[in-house]
Structure 1
Amino acid sequence: MMRLKKIAKSKTFLVIIVLLAFIYLNNTSMFSKPISETPKLLAHRGLGQTFSMENIQNDTCTAERIYKPEHPYLENTLASMEVAFQNGADVVEFDVHETKDRQFAIFHDWTLDCRTNVQGVTKDYTMAELKKVDIGYGYTADNGKTYPFRGKGIGLMPSLTEVLDHFPNKPFLIDIKSSDPKEGELLAYHLAKLSLERQSQLTVYGGDEPIAALKEKLPDMRVMSKATMKSCLIPYIAVGWTGYMPQACHNTQLHIPEKIGPWLWGWPNKFLNRMDQANTRVIVVGGDGSDFSSGFDTPDDIKRLPADYSGWIWTNRIDRIAPLYKKDKD
């Protein structure tokens, strides 16, 4: 009887060892090749003024806490996007809000009060009226002693149509800021006018409701929301160790905080390869996920990534980060 128990225990132990070996070998990046020679770069809002993230809240006026300007560009403008691409951005992200005449203005904040010389929201104005607004009015790096961009931002707020016409072949990540499903439907209406090839160069992310509404109208569009992220990552965390790829992880986009990545099966290269085969783009963002706008903005930030990381990197300072990888290519 004792002998049988010993045999049973030894078999159980062997099964556990084999299972652990399988999990390790099936999820180690040791045998996985990088998906590209160097990471690809996403320029958040083009190239704009950066600011302190300390104690930041949803309603914090970030224009009032910018660092001393090192360049003349304001976020979400044609010029900021142009210089981002020139510096080496592979994709530029921008934000959209609906206007009074059912267009989309490229602007980040929920209200106009912080950055501009007018108050209210974009829906209070037509696109033509928003062209007269000074989007550089509220920026200050010294607690209001000086306003270096005041008077320089008039006419710089572009429309969605302007951006897509100005950059007919460039890829973009569009952030729909509203949680209103009707705005998702309206954005789908505008994007449906584009060719299928052009649509394939665009990704849309935002609140669950507008993204679901847009996806219903444009089922082939690559989209992302908290709901789509959860529908992919929760089952992946549960069974991804087997190599199984949940259907919700196909043809989507994932923003993975740097501190969460190491907890995902196969991070980094095995995970990136699995998602790449599923036509899903993985973008690493800074921090722990408390602020998905946190990026890799200095050479020291890049050192926090795995040495062989080959996915996408979110940055607010494409001018600083792109040269690090261009140098590698040279």
Structure 2
Amino acid sequence: MPVKRPRLRKKRYALAAVLGLLAGFAYLNNTSLLAAPSDQRPRVLAHRGLAQTFSTEGVENDTCTAERIAPPPHGYLENTIPSMRAAFDAGADLVELDVHITRDGQFAVFHDWEVDCRTEATGTTRDFTMAELRGLDVGYGYTADGGRTFPFRGKGEGLMPSLDEVLAEFPHEPLLIHVKSDDPAEGEALARRLSALDPPRLAEIAVYGGDAPVRVVRERLPRVRTMSKAIMKDCLLSYEAVGWTGAAPGACANTELHVPEGYAPWLWGWPSKFTERMESVGSRVVLVAGSGGFSEGFDTPESLRRVPEEFTGYVWTNRAEVVAPLIRR
């Protein structure tokens, strides 16, 4: 029977020792068990201000969600200035809003590509001027009982704001702007509008949406945090390759990271060390519920129990009036 050579045996022992040391280093460098306790609470991202909620079961891209709302828990309509103000007053740290370019080159703050679902008109936002959109009733199509009653009809006239109006109303509050199209020209127009803001204000603005327009915003305004599918992919794949060392790759710098809770535990150093590393390169971490599809949020006291105690980033919610007081408490 052949006898193993001592030199080969020593090499194998050395390799095993090196691999063991690397594994130990990776564990100690990324476990949250050894992190110092933090008294910092998670922060709250209010999706579209205070909005009427709906079941996400069976929702598709063309579903009219206004036709399936739950019984209204409050009198606010999403993406309006009163709803944003109410969200900040409830304790939200950041408000998300949706924008579409109009026929006269302004940005309307409105969720849908088409106006048919929520208003009395038909067509896309690009078909209208901002003045025409402002004249629509954005509460027209909401119903919680299959169309028997419309609790907000007649109450949403004049409530669709422009982005200019939102920026004027909230000159200091953090805002997350969602570009709903994948048109690079829209990114160019948004970059021109935001470039008029001074640097301290720009530091409180983030932009996410389609790859093409967001890429333009990132190129024109590198100080603005941005996120798209392409940016998220570049960042997280790079991080999975080197994050075990404690490094935050350049691809993650100055980004808006929306991390689904199902994927989050696979990130090196999740939650506390991952969040610290991203913040060290100017990025913001937002935890979204479930798979992150169709704006799932942490909207109930029960769902908040799934947020790790060590997490100090932002929690995405559709019910800021419920969640923000609980987190602050």
TM tier, smaller: over 0.9
RMSD of the alignment, in Å? 1.4
1:216 to 215, 219, 222: 219
Cα distance change of structure 1 residues 152 and 300 upon mapping to structure 2, 3 Å threshold: same
Following the alignment from structure 2 to structure 1, what is the Cα–Cα distance between the partners of residues 24 and 214? Answer: 40
Render the CA deviation track for 1:125-156: whole Å, top value 9, x for unaligned.
11111111000011011111111001110000
| Contact 1:36 1:311 (8 Å CA) reproduced | no
* Equivalent residue in structure 2 for 1:204, among 201, 204, 207: 207
Letter matched to residue 178 of structure 1: S
1:189 is aligned to 2:183: no
* Shift, 1:13, TM fit: 2.5
Code of the residue aligned with 1:26 in structure 2: it is N
Cα distance in structure 1, aligned partners of 2:167 and 2:254: 22
Q: Which one-letter code corresponds to 2:304 in the other structure? A: I
Report the CA distance between 1:179 and its aligned residue: 0.6
Q: Corresponding residue for 1:313?
A: 315
Q: What are the equivalent positions in structure 2 for 1:129-208 lying under 5 Å apart?
A: 129-208=132-211
Provide structure 1 residue ranges, at least 5 long, that are not aligned to the other structure: none
Which amino acid counterpart does residue 166 of structure 2 have in structure 1? V
Name the residue aligned to 1:274: 277
Counterpart CA distance in 2 for 1:130 and 1:287 is 34
Q: Could you say which residue in structure 2 is the equivalent of 1:298?
A: 300
1:21 pairs with 20, 24, 27, which one?
24
1:53 match: secondary structure: coil
Among all aligned residue pairs of Structure 1 and Structure 2, give the percentage whose two residues are the same amino acid.
56
TM-fit CA distance, 1:35: 6.6
The reply on whether 1:125 has 2:102 as its aligned counterpart is no
1:12 aligns with 2:15: yes
Distance in 2 separating the partners of 1:249 and 1:76 = 29
Instruction: Map residues 255-274 of structure 1 onto 2, 5 A cutoff.
Output: 255-274=258-277
**Cα displacement (A) at 1:220:** 2.0
After TM superposition, list the pairs within 5 Å mapping 1:230-245 onto structure 2: 230-245=233-248
Q: Which moved more, 1:92-101 or 1:299-308?
A: 299-308
Q: Distance in 2 between matches of 1:315 and 1:254?
A: 15
Tell whether the 8 Å contact from 2:136 to 2:158 is kept in structure 1 after alignment: yes
The answer to whether 1:288 aligns with 2:291 is yes
Deviations, residues 54-81 of structure 1 (Å, cap 9, x unaligned): 0110111000110000100000000000
- Cα distance in 1 for residues equivalent to 2:71 and 2:120: 21
Q: With structure 1 as the length reference, what TM-score do the two structures score?
A: 0.96
Is contact 1:205–1:224 with CA below 8 Å preserved after alignment? Answer: yes
Question: Structure 2: where are the runs of 5+ without partners?
Answer: none
Separation in 2, partners of 1:33, 1:257 = 25
Is 1:325 aligned to 2:327, yes or no? yes
The alpha-carbon deviation at position 6 of structure 1 amounts to 3.9
Instruction: Show structure 1 runs of 4+ deviating over 3 A.
Output: 5-9, 33-36
Query: CA shift at 1:31, angstroms?
Result: 2.5
What displacement does 1:105 show?
A: 0.5
Shift of 1:25: 0.6
